[in-house]
Amino acid sequence: MHIISTKALSLSTLKTLVFEGSKIELSDEVIQKIQECRDYLDQKIEATSDPIYGINTGFGSLCDVRIHSENLTKLQENLVRSHACGTGDCVPQPIIKLMLLLKIKSLSYGHSGIQLETVNRLVTFYNNDILPVIYTQGSLGASGDLAPLAHLALPLIGEGMVWYKNVQTPASEVLNAFDWEPITLQSKEGLALLNGTQFMTAYGIHSLLKSFKLSYMADLIGALSLDAYNGRIEPFDPLVHLVRPHNGQIKTAERILSFLEGSELMKQPKKHVQDPYSFRCMPQVHGATKDTLMFVRNTFITEINAVTDNPNIFSKDDKIISGGNFHGQPLAFGFDFLKIAMAELGNISERRTYQLVSGLRELPSFLVEKSGLNSGFMIPQYTAASIVSANKQLATPASVDSIVSSNGQEDHVSMGANAAIQTYQILENVERILAIELLNASQALFFRNQKTSPFLRGILSSFRTEIPKVTEDRVLHDDIQEAIKFIQTLELENDVLFD
């Protein structure tokens, strides 16, 4: 059981929650903060006739339209219904579950005016894997992720669809099955639920966890390729990196040295003086990605431990302030940086694959005997090259774009949600590119009499159980799929998050 408290969520904690599936519960402190804020808001509405944005007014460019007190519940329910206009593909269920968790966390600080009953229902959804059906398209990344979060909120009022036991089911049916009444939304609650960055941050956390793993796998597979290519170890000497001490560069060199420790291939005399950049510069290129990951991680960790709805309620200061904490610009930049950094891991990986199949360093052309009769590994490199180019297109920054909405009231938006989806696609692609490199490196090592390191031999032993040597042409799609599955299921050592 994980207790939602005022303590910040870390990436390691989120990793545990995602992969172990722990249930959650609100701490007593959080319950008190939520209740105190709601009580203050109720008293404020009772005591004043002044317009308060989104509480007794319309929304967006309708902010000057006053709403009578008897219609405040209807106002919030209409907000949820009218904004639930997402389209496109369904958001994957693990990301929806992260959205629920991160929305609960943001509401837990007691600056949103939410009812405790509403937050408890979100907790119950989370704990019972009742996941609102949400769509990938519709958010501008400001005023928060309005359309996706409207779909997140719909089941609270008994509307929309949910995933339950992996089946899309009307929310009303699931509520009836649990004997739950729909939540009656009070003033401000629709805004508290819809304003926020939880679509972007859920994709961000998912992407970070995957990126750290793929960064590790790039080092691991790069080390295999270096040995298979009969590369040199000198470029990974700590002395080289201490005189240019970027943290990621140092970390990459350390990892690759540790992976190759005890390699007989590395000990043999070399005829060549230098290796191509895709091998020799792995510390510099992979390392730059690691440093970018750390920047992006800091951005997203700050965001998930923040209040991102609007207006913000400060009961102790007797202030309700309409601001812009829902604006996703920091996240949009983070996604764009992450897109570029991870696309480059795929780019350099494909270059190593190209070198391995080129008939160099005593390796046969396309890594197959009887080449000509057999095409061997000629076309997987084409596939990797195609994916690399697709990533270059996806890596075009989304954050430099904007479009006017809500009659000019919302006149600058972040497009962070688009960047989130692009990041997700890039990471899927990088995983495929690395799988192709792994397939090639494994095949190349069959042609080396000397052995690679004990650590890498252990990795190869598991891999070759699923994918034997290619001696004659076969359908390599199947091998690529097995290699992808191998990367996805490989359990990693503790330093994968580069803490």
Choosing from 173, 196, 219, the residue where a domain stops is 196
pTM: 0.95
**Which CATH number do you get for residue 280?**
1.20.200.10
Surface-to-core class of residue 232, CB atoms within 10 Å of its CB (0-12 exposed, 13-18 middle, 19+ buried): middle
Instruction: Measure the CA–CA gap between 371 and 383, rounded to whole angstroms.
Output: 19
* Residue 369: HSE in the Cβ half-sphere, 13 Å Cα cutoff: 6
Looking at the fold, whether 239 and 133 belong to one and the same domain comes out as no
Looking at the fold, whether 134 and 241 belong to one and the same domain comes out as no
Choosing from 171, 196, 221, the residue where a domain stops is 196
**Which CATH number do you get for residue 48?**
1.10.275.10
Choosing from 152, 173, 196, the residue where a domain stops is 196
Site of tokens 């006017």: 404
Average pLDDT by consecutive 10-residue portion of the chain (499 residues)?
A: 94 89 95 97 85 70 65 86 96 97 97 97 98 96 92 98 97 98 94 95 97 97 98 97 97 97 94 96 98 97 96 94 93 98 98 96 92 92 98 96 82 92 98 98 91 95 92 95 96 63
Q: Are 319 and 303 in contact (CB under 8 A)?
A: no
Looking at the fold, whether 181 and 255 belong to one and the same domain comes out as no
Looking at the fold, whether 143 and 274 belong to one and the same domain comes out as no
Looking at the fold, whether 126 and 226 belong to one and the same domain comes out as no
Instruction: Measure the CA–CA gap between 129 and 125, rounded to whole angstroms.
Output: 6
Looking at the fold, whether 88 and 167 belong to one and the same domain comes out as yes
Looking at the fold, whether 218 and 186 belong to one and the same domain comes out as no
Q: Domains in the chain: how many in total?
A: 2
Looking at the fold, whether 122 and 237 belong to one and the same domain comes out as no
pLDDT of residue 459: 94
Looking at the fold, whether 284 and 350 belong to one and the same domain comes out as yes
Separation of CA 31 from chain center: 29
Domain that includes residue 120, residue range: 2-196
Looking at the fold, whether 20 and 123 belong to one and the same domain comes out as yes
Q: What is the set of active-site residues?
A: 53
Looking at the fold, whether 209 and 172 belong to one and the same domain comes out as no
Per residue, what are the HEC states of 312-376? Answer: EEEHHHCEEECCCCCCCHHHHHHHHHHHHHHHHHHHHHHHHHHHHCECCCCCCECCCCCECCECC
Looking at the fold, whether 97 and 132 belong to one and the same domain comes out as yes
